[in-house]
Amino acid sequence: MHDTVSLRLARDFEVAATPADCHALLADVPRSASHFPDVLALVPLGDNAFRWEMKRVGLGEVALQTVYASRYRSDAGQLKTWWEPVLGVGNAEVSGYWQLSPSPRGTRVHLALDTRFTLPLPHLLHRVGEQLVSHELNRQVDIYIANLQRTLGAPH
């Protein structure tokens, strides 16, 4: 009695920090994760892999606590940080990347996420689960970006 929901998400924004300073923050997983809302624990697994344990969201039968692990890689010369799922950990798989580029006002930041959540719901409730996951993921990413912009500065 499980259902799977897959979501893709992309965001573009600017910060005042230099690309090097922005990359340094985003490539440092614990430091970057400290800006993400609703994280109960970020557990190092070795080899730059981390298990994310999130707060439970939803109500009653349609509630979910997301747990997943990803392995992170970074290339300062390319101004890119990317991650891939560690399979078999938790109830979600998350991959994605940050791509940075210089802008006249600091740094242009592109975030791309691919997510796959296994929900403890019958397929009959797929739409409800999909809406809950989509709403929460978008809300969390919006807060995350706002927190990063506070730290890295708003472009002038």
Q: Is 66 helix (H, G, I), strand (E, B) or coil?
A: coil
Rounded CA separation 14/149 (Å) = 8
**pLDDT value of position 126:** 66
**Spans of the chain, pLDDT less than 70:** 1, 58-63, 121-126
CATH class given for the domain over 3-152:
alpha beta
**pLDDT value of position 100:** 98
**pLDDT value of position 64:** 79
In this predicted model, what pLDDT tens digit does every residue of 11-27 receive, in sequence order? Answer: 999 999 999 999 999 99
Could you tell me if 79 and 19 are in contact, meaning their C-beta atoms sit under 8 angstroms apart? yes
Rounded CA separation 5/64 (Å) = 12
Structural domain boundaries in the chain: 3-152
**Closest to 103 in 3D by CA, of 33, 152, 34, 32:** 152
What are the backbone angles phi and psi of residue 17, rounded to the nearest 5°? -65, 155
